[in-house]
């Protein structure tokens, strides 16, 4: 969103170059990956579907150390999960957050920082995993053997809001599913200037340069009219990556929005939803054709209510995301410049005015005719004005400053009211109070 034209084109060149290189690498490895996935998987397999468990939509915060991949440790009899590893803004992560093991594997949970527990959120029917409810500190370990196939999700209660959540998939992966980054060349997340103010409509302020990766899930939800862009004028997530065949449901959470398709890959037939709908409405579309789809909300286009969906796996070796911060972010908005200028002028004004006055007085006293009384020759001193006569003289005690006295009385009354209110009403009246 802070793209400057030059930077954008430079990045696109880099992305294209990286994409090409990555495609070549991915192609070379594609055969090997596919073979590894097929190995030992005759049956139906267990897909790594977490139903949004790693997002902020589930209980607790978003799991920031989950990058969309499930660590495959199938075929090993003993696997370790680190509890309290670095991540989620501190030592608040399960490492790996998503893990795939074979049935019968013993998973050991190892505490490497303090104040964590393992509470089971969900598990397959018939499984009896209990986790470890008591809060333990660094050095503690416990092991569980997972027999029942399926997806187990768990969390750390003290740090749930920070996103300390994990999942274990027991069972082989389904044939043909790539747990992210499947074979092929991949689709880079390139939106051109769609999210900037250079394209139709306003700048998409709720787009932070990242594409939400929801590949591997069969159903994904996009919120229409979420908070953002100065009101409830955002698609959430604004940029989304899904696998081909994913059904994306658009859910209205505020009023007066529609979904108009701006661009889509050749051969794709997405129609969006042109009629304007209100809260509670939803529609779904299954995206089959790989490529980048852009869409917008017509009523709020000028506010930046735009979105994009990338269908297909990310290119190996990067999602085409901007690498690192995008430079200095360009010039600040107009109002910042205006405000800063105003403050500067206000600060300088006294200096300028006093200089002017000084110069002016100077001019007067050094004989400028303008400052002199009319009719006085230039070489004669200007006579001083006569002091006015006192009308009536009064002594020190005869003068009564009634106005000042009234002001002080008013101040004292305000003080009195504040005192009574603060101590007797706010403090003593706010029971219960500490009595010992």
Q: How far apart are CA 225 and CA 297, in angstroms?
A: 9
Q: Which of 415, 417, 418, 425 binds another protein (CB under 8 A)?
A: 415
Minimal distance, residue 253 CB to another protein, in Å: 23
Is 128 or 134 the residue whose CB approaches another protein more closely?
134
Q: Is 431 in the site for another protein (CB under 8 A)?
A: yes
Spatial separation of the C-alpha atoms in residues 37 and 20, rounded to whole Å: 25
Given the complex with another protein, which of 358 and 423 has the nearer CB atom?
Answer: 423
Radius of gyration of the chain (CA): 35
CA 216, CA 69: separation in Å to the nearest integer? Answer: 9
The contact pattern for another protein, residues 74-93, with x = CB under 8 A and - = no contact, is ---------------xx-x-
User: Distance (Å, rounded) from C-alpha 409 to C-alpha 431?
Assistant: 33
CB atoms under 10 Å from CB of 323, counted, come to: 11
Q: Which is nearer to another protein, 275 or 431 (CB)?
A: 431
Q: For residues 61 and 160, is the Cβ–Cβ distance under 8 A?
A: yes
Q: Looking at 155-163, 208-216, 289-297, 367-375, which segment touches another protein (CB under 8 A)? A: 155-163
Residue 408 C-beta: closest distance to another protein, Å = 5
Question: Binders of another protein: how many residues, by CB under 8 A?
Answer: 32
**Considering beta carbons, is residue 126 or 401 the nearer one to another protein?**
401
Site string for another protein, 169-208 (x = CB under 8 A): ----------------------------------------
Q: With CB under 8 A as the contact rule, which of the stretches 32-40, 69-77, 141-149, 151-159 interacts with another protein?
A: 151-159
- Please tell me the distance from the alpha carbon of residue 27 to that of residue 33, in angstroms, as a whole number: 10
* Cα–Cα nearest to 159, from 176, 185, 135: 135
Return the number of the residue (345 or 412) whose C-beta is nearest another protein.
Answer: 412
Candidate residues 157, 190, 219, 298; the one interacting with another protein per rule CB under 8 A: 157
* Contact window for another protein (CB under 8 A) among 103-111, 211-219, 337-345, 419-427: 419-427
Of 389, 390, 372, the C-alpha closest to 381 is: 372
Query: b/e for 205-219, b at 16 or more Cβ within 10 A?
Result: bbbeeebbbbbbbee
Q: Pick one of 64, 80, 115, 205: the residue that binds another protein (CB under 8 A).
A: 115
Q: Which residues contact 90 (CB under 8 A, 6 or more apart)?
A: 162
Taking the complex as a whole, the smallest distance from the CB of residue 161 to another protein amounts, in Å, to 4
Q: Residue 139 or residue 267: which is nearer to another protein going by CB?
A: 139
Question: Does 353 participate in binding another protein (rule CB under 8 A)?
Answer: no
- List C-alpha distances in Å: 436 to 355, 426, 428: 65, 20, 15
Spatial contact of 172 and 45, defined as CB atoms under 8 Å apart: yes
Stretch binding another protein (CB under 8 A), from 157-165, 197-205, 209-217, 355-363:
157-165
Q: How far is the CB of 188 from another protein (least distance, A)?
A: 33
Residues 380-409 that bind another protein (CB under 8 A): 396-397, 400-401, 404-405, 408
CA distances from 217 to 53, 135, 313 (A): 12, 33, 12
| Helix H or strand E segment including 16 | helix 5-38
Binding mask 250-279 for another protein (x = CB under 8 A): ------------------------------
CA distance 269 to 285: 10
Instruction: Answer for the pair 310, 263: CB distance below 8 angstroms, yes or no.
Output: no
Report the nearest approach of another protein to the CB of residue 90 (Å): 6
Cα gap 114→119, rounded to integer Å: 16
Q: Are 120 and 129 a contacting pair, CB within 8 Å?
A: yes
**Chain residues in the site for another protein (CB under 8 A):** 89-90, 92, 114-115, 135, 157-159, 161-162, 396-397, 400-401, 404-405, 408, 412, 415-416, 419, 423, 427-428, 430-436
């Amino acid at each position: 969103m802070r793209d400057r034209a030059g930077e954008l084109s430079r990045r696109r060149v880099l992305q294209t170059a990286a994409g090409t290189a990555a495609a070549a690498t991915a192609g070379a490895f594609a055969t090997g990956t596919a073979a590894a996935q097929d190995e030992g998987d005759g049956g139906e397999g267990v897909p790594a579907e977490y139903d949004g468990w790693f997002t902020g939509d589930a209980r607790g915060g978003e799991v920031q150390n989950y990058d969309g991949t499930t660590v495959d440790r199938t075929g090993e009899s003993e696997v370790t999960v680190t509890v309290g590893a670095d991540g989620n803004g501190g030592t608040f992560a399960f490492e790996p957050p998503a893990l795939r093991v074979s049935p019968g594997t013993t998973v050991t949970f190892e505490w490497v920082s303090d104040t964590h527990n393992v509470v089971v959120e969900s598990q397959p029917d018939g499984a009896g995993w209990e986790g470890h409810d008591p809060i333990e500190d660094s050095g503690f370990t416990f092991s569980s053997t997972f027999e029942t196939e399926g997806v187990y999700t768990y969390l750390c209660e003290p740090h749930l809001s920070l996103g300390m959540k994990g999942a274990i998939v027991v069972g082989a992966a389904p044939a043909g599913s790539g747990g992210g980054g499947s074979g092929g060349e991949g689709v880079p997340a390139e939106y051109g200037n769609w999210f900037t103010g250079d394209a139709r409509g306003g700048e998409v302020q709720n787009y932070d340069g990242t594409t939400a990766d929801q590949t591997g899930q069969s159903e994904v939800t996009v919120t229409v009219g979420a908070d953002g862009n100065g009101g409830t004028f955002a698609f959430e997530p604004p940029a989304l990556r899904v696998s081909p065949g994913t059904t994306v449901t658009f859910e209205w959470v505020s009023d007066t929005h529609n979904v108009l398709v701006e661009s889509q890959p050749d051969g794709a037939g997405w129609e969006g939803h042109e009629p304007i709908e209100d809260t509670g409405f939803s529609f779904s579309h299954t995206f089959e054709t790989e490529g980048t789809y852009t869409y917008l909300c017509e009523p709020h286009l000028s506010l930046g209510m735009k979105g994009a969906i990338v269908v297909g796996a990310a290119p190996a070796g990067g999602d085409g995301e901007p690498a690192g911060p995008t430079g200095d972010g360009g010039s600040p908005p107009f109002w910042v410049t205006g405000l800063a200028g105003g403050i500067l002028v206000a600060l300088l004004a006294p200096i300028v005015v006093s200089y002017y006055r000084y110069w002016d007085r100077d001019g007067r006293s050094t004989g400028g005719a303008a400052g002199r009384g009319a009719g006085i020759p230039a070489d004669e001193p200007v006579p001083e004005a006569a002091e006015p006569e006192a009308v009536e003289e009064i002594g020190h005690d005869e003068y009564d400053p009634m106005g000042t006295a009234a002001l002080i009385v008013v101040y004292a009354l305000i003080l009195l009211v504040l005192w009574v209110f603060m101590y007797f009403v706010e403090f003593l009246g706010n029971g219960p109070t500490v009595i010992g």
